[in-house]
Chain A
Amino acid sequence: MTQVQAVAKKRSRWNALSEWFDTRLGLANTILRPVPSYSLKPDYWLGAIAFLAFLICGFTGILQLQYYVPTPDAAYDSVQHFNEFVPYGNLIQSVHLYSAFAMIFFAFAHMMRGYFLSVHKRPRELMWVIGMLMGLSALGMGFTGYLLPWTVLSKSATDISIGFVNQLPDPFRSFLMYGLTGSGADGDLLLRFFALHTVVLPAVIFVLFAIKLHMFEVHGVVKPEGNSAPAEVRLIPWFPRIVAYMLLLASIVGSAILTIAVLFPFQLPAKFTYEAAASATPTPEWYFLWAYQILKFSVFEGQLGIRLALVLLAAIMAAFTLLPFIDRNPRRAPRQRPVYVTVGAIAIVEVFVLVIWGSMTPGMTIPAVQGVLVLGCSALATICILFVWHRQVVHPSEMLYERFLARKERQPSPETTQESARGDAPGSGS
């Protein structure tokens, strides 16, 4: 048997197996539309990976829910008991923690990829808005979940965040304060955060996911533009290839989360007491460090300063959420949108700078001049790198691509050649 025959026999076995399942489950005729072949790349599936991490969070969270007691007196002890005495407790908590990190990281990567490739343009404006609301809900999950172990770091950091909310003008202040803290007692605060983390926000994310998935099925995958546009598009049904591809990505992501969880297991900080809180320097999780660092700038001290900072942060979030209605340029290719690409690159660099800087200077007030210098220099460096990259890499490749297109247009197609040959042949004219 030749190698080709052997491979064909193997393929027919696979096909027979997948057909056996499909006849019974009807997965090939699922409501999900076939996927174009060019989208079988990991960057097209960043949102799916973020949602997978959310599902892992949900699964490990349900396991922890069997033991958690949402009262200030018992919360820490229940988490400690789960961590030390319940089978696989530490591993489950570590996987819960790192899958939450993965969810936020991949959601951010998914958003920035969409920003650079202009997936928010017509007719997908509302998909973008819903995606942003999902991202904000994921951040809310992180914010509310951080308090639940009732450690000195998490409770102190939450108290500081609530202190910022308390600086807002009415009616925002009273509405948010009642929603987050109730009567203001520790028990009310913990119970509200527990309800938000385990019921309200997951339900919101599920509903938004269902709406976004429906819109995705209506509008489909955004086709790449420019010289990365595919020459031909093959449609691949969901079963079995796309299901196998998603399982492949899920295996890799799951393996990475597990490996990180066993290498850097969750360690429970000290229990919250008012005495311990007096000597602790509270820091938020890494995904809030950028906002934390901005709030530490000396220019944002005092009630007016805090209000200004909160308005600035709200304006950044609102601008990103309403991006489809701000960016009206119909062009999608990044090289045709230099201003937006530069702004996006600066945003990514500034977030990284602020996160690293925030982790290095916990609890320290940052002089305004220092803030302007660091942020200004990193923005300037980003612009310079983008400029050099455009001149040295993008521009020459575009020139080559345009020359290739021009040469292709000059060359007659085989059909045209045959027709002209027939036309030129003696006796062919009427």
Chain B
Amino acid sequence: MNRLPIGFGLLLAFQAFLVVALWAVDPVQYTGQRLFGSILAAQLVIIAIFLHLYLSGSEDYDQEWVAVGLAFIVLICLLAYFVFAG
């Protein structure tokens, strides 16, 4: 099974969720600027994963790097939720 399209789909869904969550939690967007900064950082990691997958192309991409990227997104989101949103 080719996991690349599934990975792309999951990341896009997650990105859409982040955007919706941001607007739902903080529609004015500047009262929680640290939360906004965290989510922006997570978005950049997602873009980095996309670019890594694109650059890997038809060659085998390093699943470790994708895993590290996903772990960073989770870490940043957890930090944003527990430290700043509370």
Contacts and interface: CB of A to CB of B under 8 A. Distances in A.
Interface of A: 3, 6-8, 10-11, 14, 87-91, 94-95, 241, 244-245, 247-248, 251-252, 254-256, 258-259, 261-263, 265
A87 B41 CA distance: 18
B79 interface: yes
B41 A255 contact: yes
B30 A252 contact: no
A259 B41 CA distance: 6
Contact of A247 (B37, B47, B84): B47
Contact of B48 (A3, A8, A95, A248): A248
Contacts, number: 76
Given A87-B30, A241-B55, A261 B44 contact: no
Contacts of A252: 44-45, 48
Contacts of B2: 3, 6-7
A94 B38 CA distance: 13
A262 B54 contact: no
A259 B34 contact: no
A10 B79 CA distance: 36
Given A87-B29, A248-B55, 10 more contacts: A10-B4, A87-B30, A88-B30, A255-B76, A258-B37, A259-B37, A259-B41, A262-B41, A263-B79, A265-B34
B58 interface: yes
A1 to B, nearest CB: 10
B21 interface: no
Nearest to A242: B55
B44 A258 contact: yes
A430 to B, nearest CB: 50
Contact of B38 (A11, A88, A241, A259): A259
Interface string B54-81: 1101100000000000001000100110
A251 B47 contact: yes
A59 B45 CA distance: 21
A252 B47 CA distance: 9
Given A7-B2, A14-B54, A262-B84, A255 B33 contact: no
A48 to B, nearest CB: 15
11 contacts: A8-B58, A11-B57, A91-B33, A91-B34, A91-B37, A254-B41, A254-B44, A255-B48, A258-B37, A258-B38, A259-B76
A256 B76 CA distance: 10
Interface of B: 2, 4, 29-30, 33-38, 40-42, 44-45, 47-48, 51-52, 54-55, 57-58, 72, 76, 79-80, 84
Contacts of B48: 248, 251-252, 255
Contacts of B4: 10
Contacts of A7: 2, 58
A244 B80 CA distance: 28
Contacts of A8: 58
A251 B58 contact: no
Report, nearest first, the 9 A-B pairs whose CB atoms are least far apart: A87-B30, A255-B44, A258-B41, A251-B48, A248-B51, A262-B37, A91-B33, A262-B34, A251-B44
A261 B33 CA distance: 11
A262 B34 CA distance: 5
Q: Tell me which of A87, A89, A247, A251 has the highest count of chain B C-beta atoms within 10 A of its own C-beta.
A: A251
Contacts of B30: 87-88
Given A241-B55, A247-B51, A91 B44 contact: no
Nearest to A255: B44
Nearest to B5: A10
Nearest to A259: B41
A17 to B, nearest CB: 10
B37 A255 contact: no
Contacts of B57: 11, 14
A262 B55 contact: no
A62 B30 CA distance: 19
Nearest to A3: B2
A7 B54 CA distance: 12
A6 B44 CA distance: 28
Contacts of A258: 37-38, 40-41, 44
Contacts of A247: 47, 51
A8 B59 CA distance: 11
B2 to A, nearest CB: 6
